[in-house]
Amino acid sequence: MAEKNLTRVMEFILLGFSDLPNLQEYLFGIFLVIYLSILIGNGLLIFITKTDPALQTPMYFFLGNFSFLEICYTSVTLPRMLADLWTQKRTISFVECAVQACFLYILGVAECLLLTVMAYDRYVAICKPLYYPLIMTHKVCIQMVLASWMTGVPVLIEQTYQIFSLNFCGPNKINHIFCDCQPLFKLVCGDTYKILVSTYVVALIFILSPFLLIITSYVKIISTIMKLPSTSGRSKAFSTCSSHIIVVGLFYGSACIVYFSPESSESGVADKVLALLYTIVTPIFNPLIYSLRNKDVIAAMRTLLPKSPRS
């Protein structure tokens, strides 16, 4: 027993999609195309929001930063998943797993907070239009973006340290596509009640609370829009918010289901599908949603695209 207690897991095995051996090459090709699409689509949005004079507003400043965040967020998990599909190795060291989880949490929380900031920007623009230039100055926008990136960092580093300080002394197979707290807790030797409570508290603060702030903002926004006298004014106001609402629904909907749903025997399969939803689907649809539903972005792309054939 003493010898068993001294044994500690030094590496994990990410099972991923190992239960689909005949589809490994197809999955690699699909996820490679998805990753390149995310890089190109969000990269194009960043370029347009930085260079087009018509898009030098707080709304597009936040959109450019959100697109950059999407690239970073996806890059924490997808390259590793592609490598596992290509090499069939699937092993990840204890330290690499901790680093991946830590960056995943930090960037995920940054995305929650930045989506909240974007909702606040729409709230000020629609509910307090006369004060908008005074409130949403460039300095304030930079401060909001930095706060979104940095606010959760100390707490999440500490939380990751607490998770990986647990006693992993038995099985080392993680039934997931990346290192995350839920499948990791199943490998812990000992009581996980305290760390589970701590994890849910952090999730409530950094996932659910921003979501409630977004809901509150849009309740006030919709209330203000409905009071507008002209139909065209209401339509324009709704169109400026619709893209953000869709992205919020995609990201928060899947994340809340993953982290607040009760455990079941099939939770491994469900978690993989939902993890793909909020780590891949949201980043890949973000450029499409904003480009197809935003007249300013469409106009910026039209001025950009014809330049290459003429040159």
Beta carbons within 8 Å of 15's beta carbon, 6+ residues apart: 90, 173, 174, 175, 176
Place of tokens 């973000």: 286
Lowest average pLDDT, out of 59-73, 77-91, 269-283, goes to 269-283
Query: Which residues partner with 89 through β-bridges?
Result: none
Which pLDDT value is given to residue 293?
A: 64
Question: What average pLDDT does range 98-121 have in this prediction?
Answer: 94
Which pLDDT value is given to residue 258?
A: 65
Which pLDDT value is given to residue 226?
A: 87
For the chain, what is the mean pLDDT?
85
* Domain residue spans of the chain: 15-305
Q: How far is CA 309 from the centre of its chain?
A: 35
- pLDDT band per the 50, 70, 90 thresholds, residue 237: confident
What is the C-alpha separation between 47 and 73, in angstroms, rounded? Answer: 18
pTM for the predicted model, two decimal places:
0.88
Evaluate if residue 120 carries a pLDDT over 90.
yes
Q: What are phi and psi of 162, to 5 degrees?
A: -65, -40
- The CATH classification number of 15-305 equals 1.20.1070.10
- pLDDT tens track for 161-208: 999 998 888 788 888 889 988 888 888 888 888 998 998 899 888 888
Which pLDDT value is given to residue 274?
A: 72
- pLDDT tens track for 253-293: 776 666 666 555 454 566 677 777 778 888 888 888 877 66
CB neighbours of residue 100 within 10 Å: 19
